[in-house]
Structure 1
Amino acid sequence: MTSPQPKATLHLIPVGLGDAPINDWLPSAVQSVAGGLSVYIAENAKTARAFLKLMQLARPLQEITIHELGPRVENTTLEEWLRPLKSGQDIGLVSEAGCPAVADPGSRAVTIAHNWGMNVKPWVGPSSILLGLMASGLDGQRFAFHGYAPVDATERAKQLKLWENNSAKNKQTQLLIETPYRNNAMFAGLLGNLKGNTRLCVARSITTSEEWIRTLTVAQWKTQPPPALDKHPTLFLFLAQ
């Protein structure tokens, strides 16, 4: 009687948040797993290839299949990419930066793997959301990540005030990000719309040589020179009183 074939695994592998030595942010065990896989699903194929070039690979990079999970990819296509799991082949899932399936479309692949009864393995690595929250000094037990605020200044002001009201009501830290070239506008919008006693943390370029994290009240921020945020990946966190 033959034993059943072991279930394959979808490996959730974090990638770097910026330019920094890989050993500073990814354990060697995770590097070993990542370097041994021959199929990947990635938010961005270019950044996935750059990530793989940082480690020892079991095969030439050209022989590694990388499927790009863009917003227009249908579930039927995603299922075809994941089908090797059913024949016992492990697959890697990576985000453009940080942890896959967290503020990332990779959660669709994870859902399919669970529906098929496959193993899903999250690996240790950098998450700007958690690292920023850790370093902020704000409430780490109750928090909400919102992604991007509206680009339009009027709509952004309304949304920030709503999030601030929710923060005060629920004693909940609010987290958001912005496209790096709009960081300065976002910072100005936060100072212009939040109350003076709301505590605001700015976490820039986490894990890189440009890392800079500071928490002050909005009133205190207004007395300081604005931080250099242009073109730097930045996380904004605030907690209302």
Structure 2
Amino acid sequence: MKGKLFLIPMTLGDTEIDQVIPNHIQQLIPDIKHFIVENIRTTRRYLKKVNQDINIDELTFYELNKHTSPKDISSYLNAITNHDIGIISEAGCPGVADPGADVVKIAHTKDIQVVPLVGPSSILLSLMGSGFNGQNFAFNGYLPIQAGDRSKKIKQLDNRSLNEGQTQMFIETPFRNMKMIEDLLQNCSPATKLCIAADITLESEYIKTMSIQAWKNKVPDLHKRPAIFLIHREK
């Protein structure tokens, strides 16, 4: 019988497993012996945190990153003829802003059953906590690094939010968070609402929504903290 492809969520940081990973998923994980993962070391630590009795040496890991070729990904799925396979991202839910989507795409062409499992997603949790439009939103990933291109993109997203009522979401490498905030304050309309969500599900979780004008007097220290940014501008 052909195995299934399970999309296994990971914690977003050093959070207690029971707080964010449902019990039935914790019970499922030890039965899976083949994993396609973004980071083998991180995955090993996570699996032992889920269940100390898991024998890591008995497991097979296939590493997945932006350099992995479609041919290699396809070969990873060969084991599914006799075994279930789990996909585990570096953090959060695989397949969402994550290379795991490439595995899922190929799995569908091979008529492999894909099973997404419930877990923490910084994208959805930040949207829930923002107070912005949750029926019309766009996740834009990383914005351009070059200053001119980034300013232009921010202004485009700000105007799109105004014209379409669409919540605009994006992320940044943690050590560049403060520069991101600076660019947002410079390029968005003063009336635009900005939500900053950092350390989601951690004890240090921070979620705050204010106007760009208000943020200028109250910029938090987000250096090296995982964060997601959302803007929304009403007519």
TM-score (norm 2): 0.96
What's the counterpart of residue 33 of structure 2? 38
Q: Which amino acid aligns with 1:19?
A: D
Q: CA deviation at 1:204?
A: 0.5
Question: Residue in 2 aligned with 1:141?
Answer: 135
RMSD over aligned Cα atoms: 1.1
- Confirm or deny: 8 A CA contact 2:191 2:213 kept in the other structure: yes
Tell me the distance in 1 between the aligned counterparts of 2:167 and 2:65: 30
Query: Structure 1 stretch 37-46 or stretch 199-208: which is displaced more?
Result: 37-46
SS at match of 1:54: helix
> For 1:228, which of 188, 206, 221 is the aligned residue?
221
SS of the residue corresponding to residue 220 of structure 1 reads helix
SS for the counterpart of 2:50 is: coil
CA contact 1:41–1:93 (8 Å) conserved in 2: yes
Pairing 1:61–2:56 present: yes
Partner residue in 2 for 1:130: 124
Q: Distance in 1 between matches of 2:174 and 2:54?
A: 35
**What are the equivalent positions in structure 2 for 1:17-36 lying under 5 Å apart?**
17-36=12-31
Counterpart in the other structure of 1:75: 70
- What amino acid maps onto 2:230 in structure 1? L
- In structure 2, stretches of 5+ residues that fail to align are none
Q: Check whether the contact 1:16–1:22 (CA below 8 A) recurs between aligned residues.
A: yes
- Counterpart residue type for residue 234 of structure 1: A
* Cα distance between partner residues in 2 of 1:203 and 1:72: 30
Letter in 2 for 1:228: D
Is residue 50 of structure 1 aligned with residue 26 of structure 2?
Answer: no
The answer to whether 1:12 aligns with 2:27 is: no
Greater CA deviation, 174-183 or 108-117?
108-117
- Post-superposition offset of 1:223: 2.2
Match of 2:186 in 1: 192
Note if contact 1:157-1:189 (Cα within 8 Å) is conserved in structure 2.
Answer: yes
Q: C-alpha separation between the residues in 1 aligned to 2:133 and 2:158?
A: 14
Check the 8 A contact 1:36/1:58 in 2, yes or no: no
Q: Which runs of 5+ in 1 are unaligned?
A: none
Find the counterpart in structure 2 of residue 217 from structure 1.
211
Cα distance in 1 for residues equivalent to 2:8 and 2:37: 10
Q: CA deviation at 1:163?
A: 0.9
Moved over 3 A (4+): none
Shift of the alpha carbon at 1:58? 6.2
Distance 2:6 2:102 in 1: 14
**Could you tell me whether the CA contact under 8 Å between 2:197 and 2:208 is conserved in 1?**
yes
- TM-score norm. by structure 1 comes to 0.94
CA positional deviation for 1:131: 0.2
Number of aligned residues: 234
1:163 and 2:174 correspond: no
Q: CA deviation at 1:35?
A: 2.3
